[in-house]
A and B are shown apart, each in its own frame.
Chain A
Amino acid sequence: MQFQRAIQALCDNGVAFIVVGGLSATFLGSARITYDLDICYSRDQANCKLLALALAPYHPRPRGFPPELPFIWDETTLRNSEIFTLKTDIGEIDLLAEVIGLGGFEQVKAYAMSVGAFERDFLTLDLPGLIKAKRAAGREKDLAALPELESLLEADSE
């Protein structure tokens, strides 16, 4: 996964997004490796247009989608669904309009903090938000990440 290229494309196109999931955990100190980029994005029309433009050069298609079927990547497609699990030329990118346990973009923003990385400044989930989201998601891989994240929270508490 080329995290840097993906993040730079999103930032340089002015997309309103928040990094959630494994990359957030990495920024916060987790040693676990992730292979995809998960972001929460604002579903307003202007932002969907920017997001469509930002990722278009990397030819996004839904993962597992039959290659012989056409897939149109544009703002209308983005506004017609709330979750996209995409395969792109720069890696796998998941787009979430809503994060389980937290809510939509504005609610997720309440748990976000700014981070400087990959030569850009952007938003990422904080530890309490990430823990809440992982616990609510409840998948095996999310629950397996919790002990380390809770340790980080405890190690950094006053």
Chain B
Amino acid sequence: MRTLQPLTAKQLATAEQRLLNPAPGSRIEAARKYGVDLTLTIEQLRLTPAERGQKLEDAATALLQFRGIARRRA
């Protein structure tokens, strides 16, 4: 079974270069034109998979709490 690993420094550098300077006609260029903020994607790639999961849990919890506060005030 394969294991999802954090990117190595070399893999990260390659990914960053491709995401920040997409080749014409590439999927990455299409995503940028679609409106995807690829700088956020790069920030995610700098984290380990475990850190990405924890960051999502923190963000989802904070947003749900915010929604609850807003609902109670309404």
Please list the residues of chain A having a beta carbon within 8 angstroms of any beta carbon in chain B. Answer: 1-4, 23, 26-31, 33-35, 112-118, 123-124, 126, 147-148, 150-156
A2 to B57, CA, bound (A): 6
Whether B2 contacts A113 by the Cβ 8 Å rule is yes
Asked whether, in the complex, the Cβ of A118 is within 8 Å of the Cβ of B53, the reply is yes
Asked if B64 contacts A35 (CB within 8 A), the reply is yes
* Residues in chain B near residue A151, CB distance under 8 A: 19, 27-28, 31, 36, 38, 41
Residues of chain B touching chain A, judged by Cβ–Cβ distance below 8 Å, are 1-4, 7, 11, 14-15, 18-19, 26-28, 30-31, 34, 36-38, 40-41, 43-45, 49-50, 52-57, 59-61, 63-64
Chain A residue with the shortest CB-CB distance to B63: A33
Q: Which residues of B contact A123 (CB under 8 A)?
A: 1
Interface centre among A31, A34, A123, A148 (most CB of B within 10 A): A31
Check A156 against B11 for contact (C-beta < 8 Å). Answer: yes
Nearest CB of chain A from residue B37's CB, rounded to whole Å: 7
Among A2, A116, A148, the most chain B Cβ lie within 10 Å of the Cβ of A148
**A33 in contact with B59 (CB, 8 Å):** yes
8 nearest CB pairs, A to B: A147-B31, A31-B40, A117-B53, A155-B15, A150-B27, A117-B50, A113-B2, A151-B31
Enumerate chain A residues within 8 angstroms of B19, measured Cβ to Cβ: 151, 155
In the complex, 5 of the A-B residue pairs with CB atoms within 8 angstroms, ordered by the A residue number, are A31-B43, A35-B64, A114-B2, A118-B57, A156-B15
For B3, list chain A residues within 8 Å (CB).
113-116
Residue of A nearest to B28 (CB): A151
Q: Are A117 and B49 in contact (CB under 8 A)?
A: yes
Partner of A29, one of B26, B34, B44, B64: B44
Question: Which of B1, B14, B56 neighbours the largest number of chain A CB atoms within 10 Å of its CB?
Answer: B56
Most buried by A among B4, B11, B37: B4
Chain A residues whose C-beta falls within 8 Å of the C-beta of B27 in the assembled complex: 147, 150-151, 153-154
Contacts A147-B36, A155-B18 given; does A3 touch B63 at CB 8 Å: no
